[in-house]
Amino acid sequence: MRVGVVGATGYAGSEILRLCASHADLEVVLATGETNAGKRIRDLVPALAAAYPSMVFRDTNAVLTSDVDVVFLALPHGQSQKLVPHLLERRISVVDLGADFRLKDEKEYHAWYGDAHAAPALLASSVYGLVERHRKELVGATLIAVPGCYPTASILALAPFLDAELIERRGIVVNALSGTSGAGRAASDRLHFSRLSGNAEAYGLLLHRHTPEIQQELDAELLFTPHLVATSRGMLVTAYGRVCDPSLTTESALDLLRATYRDDPFVVVVDEPPSLKDPVGSNLCFVSARVDARTGWLVAMSSIDNLIKGAAGQAIQAWNVANGRDETMGLPMTGVTP
């Protein structure tokens, strides 16, 4: 398949380029980066020099006339919806790593993102690209909305317990830690070394835009608080839900996770709490749980690499399933250690 990567100069877009280089069925023929058009990929991202020794970034509009089979969009919110209708008209499959087609209700999109949606008719036909939850719907999909990194980790940790009606659907609390690559390549004061080094801070309090996405997929109400920590990659989620079935124990919670994910190659159920670093470099998600009988709370935990399972790897995993490939094709099954 001939691949176009739009927004290839960002961290998620660069990761798509990296993963496609080892995918047997995906050949990148176009990489765009608006402010870096004309530059060689190897000069902006030296790590990709061997895979793309001479390819140069082109401007975004090149995707509208290029001969490609699938386009991966790695753009800020609000930009994909301007391109997607034109791409679909040309029968080009679209895998959107941005937020534009994740929410099914255009009013929710307007409320959380502040703008009216430019292609609301496509919201119903987009498929949410969390394979572990939407594998059947993804088969044959031509517009895939790749989940955000925080929603991915949160949903995989909490969904089995909500599906089984073991915890209440209101009053859920999600605390999450993320490496700085989740904030993107653009420079900002809070990402300066002198401020970030040895530091951690909460942000997006009460109104983080991943909140409605998590609530939509879990059909639950929650309070979500993300934190930025001084590492480049990795994400760790600790979520709390009120137990509504007194028979739930730590062992039965772990058994439920094992049963839920026994056929999912990228979800690893662990007895001990997962660490932020365990999945880094892989498309894996580590999950675990504890039940506190004293207070009546379930603690659900997960960790992912925010740029792989939380973005580029998940995008390719969803494309694999949509197009009849092996789910694991081209994706790393092992993390990097130490």
> What amino acid is encoded at 107 in this protein?
K
Q: Which amino acid is at 44?
A: L
How is residue 4 written in tokens? 């176009």
Q: How far is CA 213 from CA 6, 105, 168, 252, in A?
A: 23, 11, 18, 28
Tell which phi-psi region holds residue 7, choosing left (phi > 0), alpha (psi between -120 and 50) or beta: left
Q: Do you find a cis peptide bond into 338, omega within 30 degrees of 0?
A: yes
Please state, in angstroms and rounded to a whole number, the distance separating the CA atoms of residues 34 and 73. 13
Residue among 20, 149, 244, 285 flagged as catalytic: 149
Annotation says 149 is catalytic: yes
Taking the C-alpha atoms of residue 94 and residue 85, their distance in angstroms, rounded to an integer, is 10
Judge residue 295's burial from the number of C-beta atoms within 10 Å of its C-beta, 0-12 exposed, 13-18 middle, 19 or more buried. Answer: exposed
- CA-based nearest residue to 4, from 44, 61, 45: 61
Closest CA relative to residue 154, chosen from 99, 82, 226: 226
CA 205 – CA 10 distance, rounded (Å): 25
**Residue closest to 331 by CA, chosen among 182, 319, 69, 323:** 319
User: How far apart, in whole angstroms, are the C-alpha atoms of residue 158 and residue 170?
Assistant: 13
The conformation of residue 153, written as its DSSP 8-state character, comes to H
Asked if residue 153 lies in contact with residue 307, where contact means CB atoms within 8 angstroms, the answer is: no
Amino acid type, 308: I
For 99-150, give the DSSP string: STTT-S-HHHHHHHHSS--S-GGGTTT-EE--HHHHHHHHTT-SEEEPPPHH
Active-site positions read 149
